[in-house]
Amino acid sequence: MASLSRSLRPLGSSSSVLLARPAPLPLSRIGVAAAAAASSLPQWYRTADIGSKRPYISSQVLKATVQDGPALTQTNRAEVTLRRFWKTVHLEEDPSGSFSIKLDHRALKTPGGAKLLIPQERRLLALLIANEWENQDEVLKQHALPVTSLASRAIDGLGEGLIREGVIDQMMKYLDTDTILFPNDAPKPLVRMQKEHWDPLFSWISETYGVTLNLAEGFSPARQTPEAIAKLRSVVEGMDNYELAAFERATYASKSFVIALALCKGRLTAHEAAEASHVEVRSQIELWGEVEDTHDVDYQDIRRSLGSVACLLIKA
């Protein structure tokens, strides 16, 4: 205890306890260390008046920068907040005959910032878009705006330019991996459904466009002739921006160039296109039964996607 009490005495007392102190730096080394420390200080501190009691400090002025991104629109606002911020929805016809959708008297715009104007010949489409926004509850459901998203896609980038060309190039790749180009000879339910839903499409595309599609062999992709590719590409290039937006979604949903083309050209209804694209799944359900929360969800999801395509194509 005596040694402990001695160790706690003040340093200035006559204690016999000796504390090791670092050896002082030579004057030459002190100057080097001070210069190094000073160089690490900010400029405002190095230029301050050290002799004064309060050194002068100048804060830097920070300027706000605007980041690139999509324009702030009603559609973007809804996507960010996921809340209904409008009370009323109505249509307004402008002098050119086009229709705009108004949320509380403010025009609905696309995510890209363009005004969502629907041509006069697609009046029903404008009504469907207005109906989608009118039926949103307090919490916004993005999946409940399929027609709005399709119309926005058509307006924002598919009219002309590199985006349109890129979409067409991407769609043409489906001629190698089209669902209907990979038929199977078993089991029996699958063979029956292929003949029911796929064989008429081969006949239709041959009679309508003079194209005979080659089937895939094994796991290798199907290879089409340059003449067939050129003919079908010209058909897609002849679509307007609304038809191309519809064709793009239908192709992604059905995994089939042919089924999507048949839907967009009126050969198939949305229900028939959904049945044709789900041939493999429906045959598995017939053999093994339906998986709850999987098959039934997919069943409704593809019908929503292809149904929105059919709505976009109506001219009325």
Q: How far apart are the first and last CA of the chain?
A: 101
Q: Higher model confidence: residue 4 or residue 36?
A: 36
pLDDT on residue 282: 87
pLDDT tens for 8-34 read: 444 444 444 444 444 444 444 444 444
Domain encompassing residue 275: 157-313
Residue 235, in any domain of the structure: yes
What confidence tier does 73 reach under pLDDT thresholds 50, 70, 90?
low
- Taking residues 115-128, report their average pLDDT: 94
Whether the per-residue pLDDT at 221 is higher than 50: the answer is yes
**How far apart (Å, rounded) are the C-alpha atoms in residues 82 and 206?**
47
Residue 62 has pLDDT above 60, yes or no: no
Same-domain check for residues 163 and 140: no
Supply the DSSP symbol for 122: G
> Is the model's pLDDT at 186 over the cut of 70?
yes
What's the token pair of residue 121? 């010949």
* Distance, C-alpha 126 to centroid of its chain: 23
What pLDDT does 83 receive? 77
Question: Residue 94's pLDDT band (boundaries 50, 70, 90)?
Answer: confident
Domain termination residue (choose one: 101, 120, 145): 145
Domain boundary among 89, 118, 145: 145
Question: Whole-number mean pLDDT of the chain?
Answer: 80
* pLDDT for residue 204 is more than 50: yes
Residues 173 and 274 in one domain: yes
Whether residue 233 lies inside any domain: the answer is yes
Instruction: Give the pLDDT of residue 60.
Output: 52
Q: Determine, yes or no, domain membership for 300.
A: yes
Residue 88, pLDDT above cutoff 70? yes
Instruction: Please say whether the beta carbons of 146 and 308 come within 8 A.
Output: yes
Q: Is the dihedral of CA 126, 132, 136, 142 positive or negative?
A: negative
pLDDT per residue as tens digits for the range 258-280: 999 999 999 999 999 999 999 99
Q: What tokens were used for 186? A: 């078993």
Mean pLDDT on 195-204: 96
| Number of structural domains found in the chain | 2
The CATH number given to whatever domain includes residue 97 is 3.30.2180.10
Q: Which amino acid is at 306?
A: L
pLDDT average, residue stretch 163-173: 95
Predicted confidence (pLDDT) at residue 283 exceeds the cutoff of 60: yes
Domain harbouring 205, CATH code = 1.10.3580.10
Report the distance separating Cα 28 and Cα 210, nearest Å.
94
Least confidently predicted of 124-133, 224-233, 293-302, 305-314: 293-302
Question: Would 266 be classed as within a structural domain?
Answer: yes
Q: What is the pLDDT of residue 138?
A: 79
Helix 199-209 with 257-264: angle, nearest 10 deg: 60
Lookup result for tokens 């160089």: 39
Q: Which of 164, 158, 140 is nearest to 75 (CA)?
A: 140
Residue range 80-103: average pLDDT?
A: 86
Question: Are residues 124 and 254 located together in one domain of the fold?
Answer: no
The continuous run of DSSP H or E covering 103 comes out as strand 99-103
Looking at the structure, tell me whether residues 272 and 194 fall in a common domain. Answer: yes
Comparing 105-109, 117-121, 124-128, the range with the smallest average pLDDT is: 105-109
Q: Does the pLDDT at position 212 exceed 70?
A: yes
Residue 9 lies in a domain: no
Please determine, for residue 78, whether its predicted confidence score (pLDDT) is greater than 80.
Answer: no
CA dihedral 45, 49, 52, 55 (to 10 degrees): -30
